[in-house]
Structure 1
Amino acid sequence: MNPGGTATMKPLKLLTFYGSYRSDRAGIRLARYAVDRFAARGHDSRLVDAQAVGLPMLDRMHKEYAPGTAPPAMAELAGQIRDADGFVFVVGEYNWGVQPGLKNLTDHFLEEWFWRPAAIISYSAGRLAGARAGLVWHGTLSEMGMVVISSTVTVGGITGALDAAGKPMGDGGAALEATFPRFADDLEWWANAARSQRAVQAPPY
């Protein structure tokens, strides 16, 4: 049985996306934390680091390339997105807005995102914990065909909540540990529901 009291289902394929390009980026700690926690819950949990993928500034979307001609990194990621059951977006806030690296990566794809749930984890160095970026991403991901779950995780004072390896520490880390299980339960419920529905009925478009 899982914490929600329902029968355990087969592992989900979950992708966690992170998009800072800064040399001293701290949010990668939170992305690694999320990947590790979902893996510990028995899922195929993987990190997609926009900086490591290295897509160019958007010129053509993946679907605008002739079959077999898209850049290899783009084609590989398109396949990973299509195969996934759900997505986690770990988002920082730049001047009340979103990080351009992550936005650029997501804009290379569209239909690949459809009919799967997405969850948002926001962070910042300050006490507002990136909440304004999370709000922007909620509408953006919905417009891109994802169902954005109502549960969120927000982490302020990121460098005081997680160490360089992504391990919780201090009061911020304790708060993260307390809130993450319900967040994970929510994403798992929606990902399982969407996967089950796709198995019995093809999406309408």
Structure 2
Amino acid sequence: MVKIGILTGSTRDSRVNIQVAEWVKSIADKRGDAEYELVDIKDYNLPRFNEPIPAIMSQDYVAREAHVWSEKISELDGFIFVTPEYNKGVTSGLKDAIDYLYVEWNNKAAGVVSYGSTLGVTATNDLRLILSVPKVAVVGPSVAMSLFTDFQDMREFNPAPFHEDTLNKVLDDVVAWSTALKSVRGLEVSV
């Protein structure tokens, strides 16, 4: 069975991101097709990315603060990124968390759940481009939610019921691709 991490995309104290991630996990846990885990990037206390060499240049190089982060991403087979859209992109905290690592992301699958004033569509597209460099295969369907209709007063998450169907399509693809990509990583695949 594959292990899928549901990664938060915000570290702000006032974030609603955790509410969305918990919703994703509650739906995912009903499925029984993978092991799902909520992975809150805020828990890893990663400082601003300011390393002497990029992770892509040295497979062995991981910043001291990122060792636990590296271990967590290494043990996962796929991801659901839950990202808000800030200024038409992903948050700096999420970008830094991705940039700290390279090989740990390689040949894994991801889906995106986004939200924002324009449904987080630009953040989703931004994340697709960012994840292409560390060789993460981002699945086609994505969940896009509005701060105006899926949140009460932009603070309390209250998603429209149809989002659950879309999320299940994302999860279907992430589980299938994560399973297939295990063989690319040289791991035994059991269905």
TM-score (norm 1): 0.78
Write the deviation string for residues 4-37 of structure 1: whole angstroms up to 9, x where unpaired. Answer: xxxxxxx321111113232321122111111222
Q: Which residue of the partner structure matches residue 46 of structure 2? A: 55
- Correspondence list, 1:59-74, <5 A: 59-60=50-51, 61=55, 63-65=60-62, 70-71=64-65, 74=66
- For structure 2, the 5+ residue unaligned runs are none
1:1-205 equivalences under 5 Å are 11-42=1-32, 43-60=34-51, 61=55, 63-65=60-62, 70-71=64-65, 74-124=66-116, 126=117, 128-157=118-147, 158-160=150-152, 169=158, 172-197=159-184, 198-199=186-187
Q: Secondary structure at the match of 2:141?
A: strand
**In 1, Cα distance between the equivalents of 2:182 and 2:134?**
18
Q: Structure 2 CA distance, aligned partners of 1:179 and 1:163?
A: 22
CA contact (8 A) 1:116 1:194 kept: yes
Distance 1:40 1:196, change over 3 A: farther
SS of residue matched to 2:38: strand
SS in 2 for 1:113: coil
- Shift of the alpha carbon at 1:64? 2.3
The alignment yields a C-alpha RMSD, in angstroms, of: 2.5
Q: Return the alpha-carbon distance in structure 2 between the equivalents of residues 146 and 178 of structure 1.
A: 24
What's the offset of the Cα at 1:132? 0.6
Q: Which runs of 5+ in 1 are unaligned?
A: 1-10
Runs of 4+ displaced beyond 6 Å: none
Distance in 2 of aligned mates of 1:57 and 1:195: 31
Count of aligned residue pairs for this structure pair: 179
Equivalent position amino acid for 1:17 in 2? L
The answer to whether the 8 Å contact 1:14/1:46 transfers is: yes
Length-normalised TM-score, structure 2: 0.83
Is the contact made by 2:121 and 2:144 (CA closer than 8 Å) also made in structure 1?
yes
More helix by share: 1
